[in-house]
């Protein structure tokens, strides 16, 4: 029952066509090494969901691994927009279902708690709702409050096959802490059939047990634990390392055209066998040392 | 202290003046951050600042590149989640003010951050909603801050990401939405909305800007009061706080 | 805007007839000093809710302060049952609405998130549900899942006037940490109009800001903060002090008859002007020192 | 090691045998705690133990007086909430086994912990549900552990706090409930339920107990197999763990 595996082994557990909930938010705690390995293994036809679209989803879309994206909009913060996602939507190759942050969070929450649907005040009156309603087999419906008779919008629960969550600290059973805000990650884990934890540090279970209020991910939800320092690079992991601004800028440049992206993928994904080789490629220890978080500031 | 000020500084100060002490404010990045921290350090020390991803009342010492930047979370009182901030505070009905930027808005304060037309007649996909639709739908009032250009203040926008007054009048309330936009702050003027028709109307024009300049940089004719008043300029203390403490690197102020 | 007040001031903010959500669970983190002051001030006609009925609710019921109890059952663990609650139910003087733990938690959650109702699988087929349905203006209804057509039970949200929560640590604005399991407390706070925090320790806001992931109660929900060491006595506060077994046994004895209870109330509530005098009465520092938690074990 | 054992020890061991490795178990206090920790320390090391108030997989070093006792939370992996344990684990459908005690049960495994008749013909209010109704409604299967007396195993109970098979047959599924009780473990015997009628049936009688003793301490006639087998006695190692490690002070074992 050992859950501690290599990244390649964890990724190999994911069939093409799966629905993945990814933990990234813009440029922080993105599952970047995981996304690169998914591309390397040729897994395709994925459905990807997250509240706010992030660099991990954008890279997977750019590499053609994603068929369907369920999200609340997103960007790379000041570095730019999600160029691959946007090109996919504009060209029609990506089936994107666009919500707001809360409506995705509520869909995860409904999935987490085993609820049949979730009422919400958002989306009403917007073209986001109009687009969602026009889809066949819509995931939105209207419902009447049995107590007041008032009409409400209802959202269908999200139940991803796998949540993939980049965390700071985990034990070997996947009991994991998340430092900083957790955005949708706790609900993603609970809504999903199972979770893959990608962790910067593995600590003995005794450490987790000393401060169990911090355990955002209980091990019972977790199928695989991957120990992978700098697993979010070039995104940041709060209290461990900062985002790599130069490398994100290079990504933004590379995603301006499909051709440039192909060259980038050859260099950073297909041309390196694994995460360790990737880290060497982008500058190795010298570069990574500069990204290490200040223990006081946390970034 | 140089009492000359940039239009960004004037916009941030105008935004800060909209916030009252004790209010709960949901903030997007950029000028809304500067306006909110400015208000909190001056007339509204008990204001609560929320970032959607799970951050309450941070005290940053450096500006960040966005909500995903831990610089912006620094010394927060609470680090939690979307469900906590957007659910139990915003959706519950506890947010007094939502502070939103926008790419395009129309006569009724509807906001588009999803699909914009490009010169070739195609649509370009932008950033979508994030929490903006939730804030526009659930806050007691929203304040919109954006640059004023004819292609940004449009007669009709191509996509409503975040609803304002929809097609005006009582349409918003009829759709089941509370609140609505109270102000649009641009680099030329401050606008409000007519209490009945919900049409955009000029409240004040910034010092040095003419009424014609305001009208000619919009895609539709706003309601105009007579006489037109001038926007109050920033104080020396407000400028000092922005320049020395809140945004010394001029990251948000452009 | 100072929130830091005395217990008497905080209690004086509560009108008779209010709905209070209390933080106790059986014999831990019960709002005991608060309950004693409510009785002292003669506040009556209260509605009290909590997932699992605890000693705080039982004392308030015993003193005749409670008209209506909305709860999921409860006890004093091995020390005994909720004698005052049970006598009130059996005699008809207490209007008790009985649910399960999860159904109360879901009613709080719906109130917290501003949802119109909450679907649930529990209660179905039970006499708990039958009793609830027989009430006029029932807080349960049936609803159809708009996606599958399946029938579900729906619960009305709970929206207490005031949550009263006994915590370990708070700052002056009410940003508070709860150590140990939190049972329904986070949802109680968010469902309520406002919260009174009763805290063992007040720390500078800077301390809270260093570990803000622990902040279970954001200050924005809080109207009053009361600094009150041993505020839960004779119940326990994890990591601060253990339950006082002898004193709980004395309570159990005292609640066997209404007459004994009156004598107990005279001695521990009406006969002492405030919490400090109560602590002297039950044995003062000598007794309290023995209850102090072992820093390693937490109890 | 004294291989004589008490009926409590036999009940705890029988309960432990019902639990499989890797299962998720929602546990009430008392014998279910002993049974669960015993299973986890023997054949089911990867079992997950849940306490409803927000505790996962504690490693107590002292017994507690109830779920509210921090002794029972000691060295847990997770300290969270009702919504987390009863919502995202139990209500979601992830609990394999619910382990419940009861004051009264009937032929179909319905449990009463709310109102019991007293000799004067009045009803006494007991402890109500807590998480028991939730567990009985949502777990994949439930195991009931209780002392066997005629007034406890009744033809009909006065209040259904936690539903079993309701009035039998397919009534439980028709009500929209999954799962249902799989075993009733008493101090006299182990019972199961008939796969179709859902009536209580004897599976094994404890060593030294006669079939008549089982029948005469029940308020109704259970289904009886022929021949009747004997419950497997505890092993030396199981007894050692209970006596030396899990409940050395005999707090749970009475």
Instruction: Residue C177: name the closest of C235, C216, C227 by CA.
Output: C216
- Asked if B77's CB is within 8 angstroms of C208's CB, the reply is yes
State which residue of chain C sits closest to A152, comparing Cα positions: C116
Task: Give dist(CA B109, CA B179) in Å, integer.
Answer: 12
Angstroms from A118 CA to nearest CA on chain C:
8
Q: Does A78 touch chain B (CB under 8 A)?
A: yes
Average pLDDT over residues C74-95: 97
Report the pLDDT value the prediction gives residue B3, as an integer from 0 to 100: 67
Judged by DSSP in three states, C276 sits in helix
Instruction: Residue A112: name the closest of A150, A158, A149 by CA.
Output: A158
* Residue A219 per-residue DSSP state: G
Lookup result for tokens 């069939």:
A15
Alpha-carbon distance values, C16 to C12, C19, C191 (Å): 10, 9, 20
User: Catalytic: which of D52, D62, D149, D199?
Assistant: D52
Angstroms from C188 CA to nearest CA on chain B:
11
Q: Does A218 touch chain D (CB under 8 A)?
A: yes
Angstroms from C178 CA to nearest CA on chain D:
10
- Asked if B76's CB is within 8 angstroms of C209's CB, the reply is yes
List all chains that touch chain A, counting a touch as 3 or more CB pairs closer than 8 Å. B, C, D
Report the pLDDT value the prediction gives residue D30, as an integer from 0 to 100: 81
Q: Counting one residue from B and one from C, how many pairs have CB atoms under 8 Å apart? A: 54
Report the pLDDT value the prediction gives residue D179, as an integer from 0 to 100: 95
Task: Give dist(CA D153, CA D103) in Å, integer.
Answer: 9
If residue C180 lies in a helix (H) or strand (E), which one and from where to where?
none
Q: Does B142 touch chain A (CB under 8 A)?
A: no
Angstroms from C199 CA to nearest CA on chain D:
18
Report the pLDDT value the prediction gives residue D28, as an integer from 0 to 100: 82
- Asked if C146's CB is within 8 angstroms of A143's CB, the reply is yes
Looking at the partner chain, which of A114, A115, A117 has a beta carbon nearest the beta carbon of C146? Answer: A117
Mean pLDDT of chain B: 94
β-bridge pairing D229-230 and D200-205 = parallel
State which residue of chain D sits closest to C241, comparing Cα positions: D70
The percentage of chain B sitting over the pLDDT mark of 70, rounded to a whole number, equals 98
The confidence band for B17, taking pLDDT boundaries of 50, 70 and 90, is very high
β-bridge pairing B123-125 and B115-117 = antiparallel
Report the pLDDT value the prediction gives residue B254, as an integer from 0 to 100: 64
pLDDT at C136 over 90: no
Q: Does D132 touch chain C (CB under 8 A)?
A: yes
Q: Residue A260, Cβ neighbours under 10 Å: how many?
A: 12
- Asked if D160's CB is within 8 angstroms of C106's CB, the reply is no
- Asked if C218's CB is within 8 angstroms of B24's CB, the reply is no
If residue C291 lies in a helix (H) or strand (E), which one and from where to where?
helix C284-291
The ipTM of this complex is 0.97
Task: Give dist(CA A100, CA A120) in Å, integer.
Answer: 11
CA angle (B70, B76, B77) in 5-degree steps:
155
Report the pLDDT value the prediction gives residue D74, as an integer from 0 to 100: 97
CA angle (B146, B147, B153) in 5-degree steps:
85
**DSSP letters for chain B:** ------HHHHHHHHHHHTPPTT-EEEE-SSHHHHHHHHHHHTT-TT-EEEETTTEES---SS--SSTT-HHHHTT-SEE-BHIIIIIIIIITT--SEEEEE-SEE-TT--EE-SEEE-TTS-EEE----TTHHHHHHHSSEEEEE----TTTB-SS-S--SB-SSTTSTTHHHHTT----EEEEE-SSEEEEE-TTT--EEEEEE-TT--HHHHHHTSSSPPB--SSPEEPPPPPHHHHHIIIIII-TT-SS--
- Asked if C173's CB is within 8 angstroms of B78's CB, the reply is no
Q: Which domains are assigned to chain C?
A: 7-98+159-291 (3.40.1080.10), 117-155 (no CATH)
Report the pLDDT value the prediction gives residue A272, as an integer from 0 to 100: 97
Residues of chain D with pLDDT under 50: none
Report the pLDDT value the prediction gives residue C129, as an integer from 0 to 100: 97
Report the pLDDT value the prediction gives residue C64, as an integer from 0 to 100: 98
Report the pLDDT value the prediction gives residue B2, as an integer from 0 to 100: 62
Instruction: State the virtual CA torsion across C75, C78, C80, C81 in degrees, nearest 10.
Output: 20
- Asked if A209's CB is within 8 angstroms of D92's CB, the reply is no
In chain C, residues with a C-beta closer than 8 Å to the C-beta of B88 are 112-114, 190
Q: Residue C194, Cβ neighbours under 10 Å: how many?
A: 15
pLDDT per position as a tens digit, B77-120: 999 999 999 999 999 999 999 999 888 999 999 999 999 987 78
Alpha-carbon distance values, C47 to C16, C82, C108, C123 (Å): 9, 17, 15, 22
CB A103 within 8 A of CB B129: no
Looking at the partner chain, which of B54, B69, B175 has a beta carbon nearest the beta carbon of A125? Answer: B175
Residues 35-64 of C with CB under 8 A from D: 51-54
Q: At what angle do helices C55-62 and C83-91 cross, to 10 degrees?
A: 50
Task: Give dist(CA B204, CA B228) in Å, integer.
Answer: 6
Report the pLDDT value the prediction gives residue B118, as an integer from 0 to 100: 79
pLDDT at B1 over 60: no
Q: Does D207 touch chain C (CB under 8 A)?
A: no
CB C67 within 8 A of CB C45: yes
- Asked if A154's CB is within 8 angstroms of C141's CB, the reply is no
Q: Does A142 touch chain B (CB under 8 A)?
A: no
- Asked if B88's CB is within 8 angstroms of C209's CB, the reply is no
Lookup result for tokens 């999803």:
B114
Instruction: Residue A247: name the closest of A278, A215, A222 by CA.
Output: A278
Angstroms from A50 CA to nearest CA on chain C:
20
- Asked if A119's CB is within 8 angstroms of C115's CB, the reply is yes
Angstroms from D79 CA to nearest CA on chain C:
5
Angstroms from C1 CA to nearest CA on chain D:
32
The percentage of chain B sitting over the pLDDT mark of 90, rounded to a whole number, equals 87
Report the pLDDT value the prediction gives residue B130, as an integer from 0 to 100: 96
Q: Does C91 touch chain D (CB under 8 A)?
A: no
Q: Does C190 touch chain B (CB under 8 A)?
A: yes
Which of A115, A184, A212 would best serve as a mutation to test chain D binding (most D beta carbons within 10 A)? A212
- Asked if C116's CB is within 8 angstroms of A145's CB, the reply is yes
* Residue D52 annotated to the active site: yes
Q: Counting one residue from A and one from D, how many pairs have CB atoms under 8 Å apart? A: 54
Q: Does C81 touch chain D (CB under 8 A)?
A: yes
Task: Give dist(CA D197, CA A132) in Å, integer.
Answer: 47
- C207 φ/ψ angles, rounded to the nearest 5 degrees: -70, -45
pLDDT at C1 over 70: no
Which of A1, A113, A169 would best serve as a mutation to test chain D binding (most D beta carbons within 10 A)? A113
Strand partners for C78:
C76
pLDDT per position as a tens digit, D112-154: 999 998 778 889 999 999 999 999 999 999 999 999 999 999 9
Catalytic residues of B: 52
In chain C, residues with a C-beta closer than 8 Å to the C-beta of D175 are 124-125
Q: Do chains C and A touch (3 or more CB pairs under 8 A)?
A: yes
| Tokens linked to C68 | 């209506």
Report the pLDDT value the prediction gives residue B209, as an integer from 0 to 100: 96
Task: Give dist(CA C167, CA B237) in Å, integer.
Answer: 40
Per-residue model confidence as pLDDT tens for chain A (299 residues): 599 999 999 999 999 999 999 999 999 999 999 999 999 999 999 999 999 999 999 999 999 999 999 999 999 999 999 999 999 999 999 999 999 999 999 999 999 999 999 999 999 999 999 999 998 778 999 999 999 999 999 999 999 999 999 999 999 999 999 999 999 999 999 999 999 999 999 999 999 999 999 999 999 999 999 999 999 999 999 999 999 999 999 999 999 999 999 999 999 999 999 999 999 999 999 999 999 999 999 99
Angstroms from B70 CA to nearest CA on chain C:
13
- Asked if A27's CB is within 8 angstroms of B69's CB, the reply is yes
In chain A, residues with a C-beta closer than 8 Å to the C-beta of B54 are 181-183
* Residue A24 per-residue DSSP state: -
- CATH code assigned to B7-246: 3.40.1080.10
Whether residue B181 is preceded by a cis peptide bond, meaning omega within 30 degrees of 0, is no
Q: Does D124 touch chain C (CB under 8 A)?
A: yes
Report the pLDDT value the prediction gives residue B233, as an integer from 0 to 100: 96
Looking at the partner chain, which of A113, A175, A205 has a beta carbon nearest the beta carbon of D88? Answer: A113
Looking at the partner chain, which of B24, B46, B78 has a beta carbon nearest the beta carbon of C215? Answer: B78
Q: pTM (2 decimals)?
A: 0.98
- Asked if D94's CB is within 8 angstroms of A220's CB, the reply is yes
């Amino acid at each position: 029952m050992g859950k501690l595996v290599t990244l390649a082994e964890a990724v190999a557990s994911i069939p093409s066509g799966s629905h993945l909930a990814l933990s990234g938010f813009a440029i922080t705690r993105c599952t970047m090494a995981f996304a690169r390995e998914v591309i390397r293994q040729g897994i395709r036809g994925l459905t990807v969901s997250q509240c706010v679209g992030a660099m991990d989803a954008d890279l997977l879309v750019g590499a053609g691994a994603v068929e369907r994206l369920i999200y609340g909009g997103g960007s790379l913060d000041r570095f730019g927009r999600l160029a691959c996602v946007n090109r996919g939507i504009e060209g029609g190759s990506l089936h994107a279902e666009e919500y707001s942050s809360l409506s995705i969070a509520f869909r995860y929450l409904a999935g987490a708690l085993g609820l049949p649907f979730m009422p919400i005040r958002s989306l009403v009156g917007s073209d986001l709702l109009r687009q969602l309603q026009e889809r066949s087999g819509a995931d939105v419906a209207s419902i009447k409050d049995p107590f007041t008779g008032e009409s409400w919008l209802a959202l269908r629960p999200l139940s991803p096959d796998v949540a993939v969550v980049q965390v700071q600290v985990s034990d070997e059973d996947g009991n994991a802490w998340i430092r900083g805000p957790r955005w949708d990650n706790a609900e993603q884990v609970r809504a999903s059939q199972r979770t893959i934890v990608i962790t910067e540090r593995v600590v003995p279970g005794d450490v987790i047990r000393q401060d169990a209020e911090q355990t955002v991910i209980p091990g019972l939800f977790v199928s695989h634990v991957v120990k992978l320092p700098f697993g979010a690079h070039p995104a940041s992991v709060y209290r461990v390392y900062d985002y790599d601004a130069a490398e994100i800028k290079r990504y933004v440049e590379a995603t301006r055209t499909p051709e440039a992206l192909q060259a980038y993928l050859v260099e950073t994904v297909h041309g390196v066998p694994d995460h360790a080789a990737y880290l060497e490629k982008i500058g190795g220890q010298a570069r990574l040392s500069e990204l290490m978080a200040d223990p006081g500031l946390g970034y | 202290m140089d009492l000359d000020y940039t239009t960004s500084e004037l916009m941030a100060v105008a935004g800060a003046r909209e916030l009252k002490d004790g209010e709960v404010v949901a903030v997007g990045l950029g000028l809304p951050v500067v306006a909110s921290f400015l208000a909190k350090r001056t007339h509204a020390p008990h204001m609560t600042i929320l970032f959607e991803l799970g951050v309450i009342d941070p005290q940053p010492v450096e500006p960040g590149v966005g909500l995903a930047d831990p610089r912006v979370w620094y010394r927060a009182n609470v680090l939690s989640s979307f469900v906590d901030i957007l659910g139990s505070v915003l959706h519950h009905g506890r947010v007094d003010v939502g502070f939103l930027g926008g790419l395009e808005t129309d006569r009724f304060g509807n906001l588009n951050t999803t699909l914009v037309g490009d010169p070739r007649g195609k649509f370009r996909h932008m950033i979508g909603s994030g929490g903006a639709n939730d804030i526009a739908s659930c806050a007691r009032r929203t304040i919109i801050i954006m640059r004023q250009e004819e292609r940004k203040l449009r007669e009709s926008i191509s996509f409503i990401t975040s609803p304002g007054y929809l097609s005006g009048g009582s349409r918003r309330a009829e759709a089941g939405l509370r609140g609505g936009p109270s102000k649009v702050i641009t680099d030329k003027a401050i606008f409000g909305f007519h209490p009945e028709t919900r049409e955009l109307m000029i409240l004040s024009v910034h010092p040095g800007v003419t009424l014609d300049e305001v009208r000619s940089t919009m895609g539709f004719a706003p309601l105009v009061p007579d006489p037109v008043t001038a926007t109050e300029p920033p104080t020396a203390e407000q400028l000092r706080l922005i320049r020395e403490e809140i945004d010394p690197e001029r990251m948000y102020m452009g």
